[in-house]
Amino acid sequence: MPKVTPPEPESSDFERLGRSASLTSRVEQLLRDAITTGRFTDGRLPTEVELAEQLGVSRETVRLAADALQREGLLVKIRRRGTFLNAPTLPDQITTPESTTIAYLQAGYQVPQGQTEPATPTINGLMLQGALEEASRHGLRLLVEHAAHTQIGNAFRNLPPRNQLRGVVFAHYGEEKLLRRAAGTGLPIVLLDHDLHLPGVGSVRDDSCEGARQAVAYLAKLGHRRIAFVNWRQTDLNPWRLDGYRRGLRQAGLPRRRVWEVAIELTEAGAKKAVSHLLALTPRPTAVYCFNNTVARLLIENLRLAGLRVPHDISVMGGGGEEVPGLTCHTADWYRIGVTAVQILLREATAKPEHHLAPHRIQDGQTTDAPS
């Protein structure tokens, strides 16, 4: 077999990288960006030796980065020929202005019996309605697919051909590997109700951190000095509320105690556990901020069963979600969030990804009052 002569490096060589503990991941990200922006116009990468020289790293570092992209489906290595872009990432597969369909992939999460999902049907419905009506205003069709979060990859693979899509909205989903692969197709991607900064991926979600900070400020203004927080146990999926709660305490000059932070499952049993914990504290908190309105409702029911009056003995405030009559809470415009997701997606066809945070507003109710 004749020896294959590697192509000459392009004149616009990569900028050499400085040393870093995450050098392989940096090379991986740089190559991914180059693929997404269509830098390898002939569909072929320079050799590992050439890339190592251009980047100022070892050949092994380049190989590991390329292997990771091959596992994601962005690259394919052919023995004795080289490394090539996989078919879905070639320029002729990228969306065209004539595309009339937006894919809306909504992830569902199985929860234990008796537990509620963090995103209520009300929130899901409002965001979908906003996205649907905004797509219609632009003469576009919204293709809605609902799947378990473990099956979103299959739903994405079963979408129409890439040249028939204007982009994809991923609702309540943030699995990095699939999203990197989706961005590698060249389609505009927007995350709805999630936040993950990746090249080619925009996002829009409610500003949970600021909402929590406002809740603490509201309770502090009423005169509360001991404010507890009943949080969802899976803090890694929404770390923003806890951060906002702590920030609100600092800004109000209020003390923070670890025992005032209670992490529970979103169930009746979880609410009972939280009430038992709070009632055992000395001194007892005079107000409680809850992860969402469902938790607040369950907490109020169990506080009353324990003989406490809300808000006379203890104030309770919700973090949004289901409609609970009379509940003091903060809430976002979920319809507008769905609208914004489609607007971002359409702009991203020709611009850099955007990241938006939707503000919260306080909704006064009858479950909070000055401490007695």
Q: Which of 40, 65, 90 finishes a domain?
A: 90
Nearest CA-CA partner of 159 in 187, 139, 138, 134: 187
What is the widest separation between alpha-carbon atoms in the chain?
Answer: 89
Nearest CA-CA partner of 66 in 123, 13, 28: 28
> 200 and 256: one domain?
no
Q: Which of 60, 90, 120 finishes a domain?
A: 90
> 294 and 220: one domain?
yes
H or E segment to which residue 35 belongs: helix 23-36
CA distance 288 to 368: 9
Is 9 among the domain residues?
no
Is 368 among the domain residues?
no
> 172 and 247: one domain?
no
Is 372 among the domain residues?
no
CA distance 47 to 4: 11
CA distance 283 to 227: 11
> 339 and 293: one domain?
no
Q: Count the domains in the chain.
A: 3
CA distance 312 to 303: 12
Q: How much is the pLDDT for 283?
A: 93
pTM over 0.75: no
CB-count exposure of residue 289 (10 Å: 0-12, 13-18, 19+): buried
- Residue 369 has a CB neighbour count (10 Å cut-off) of 17
Return the CATH number at 126.
3.40.50.2300
Q: What is the mean pLDDT of each run of 10 residues along the chain (372 residues)?
A: 44 48 78 74 79 84 85 74 62 52 86 53 86 92 90 91 90 88 88 86 93 97 97 82 96 96 92 96 96 94 96 96 93 94 82 87 96 89
DSSP labels, 253-267: T----GGGEEEE-SS
> 318 and 302: one domain?
yes
Give the domain range for residue 268.
Answer: 208-331
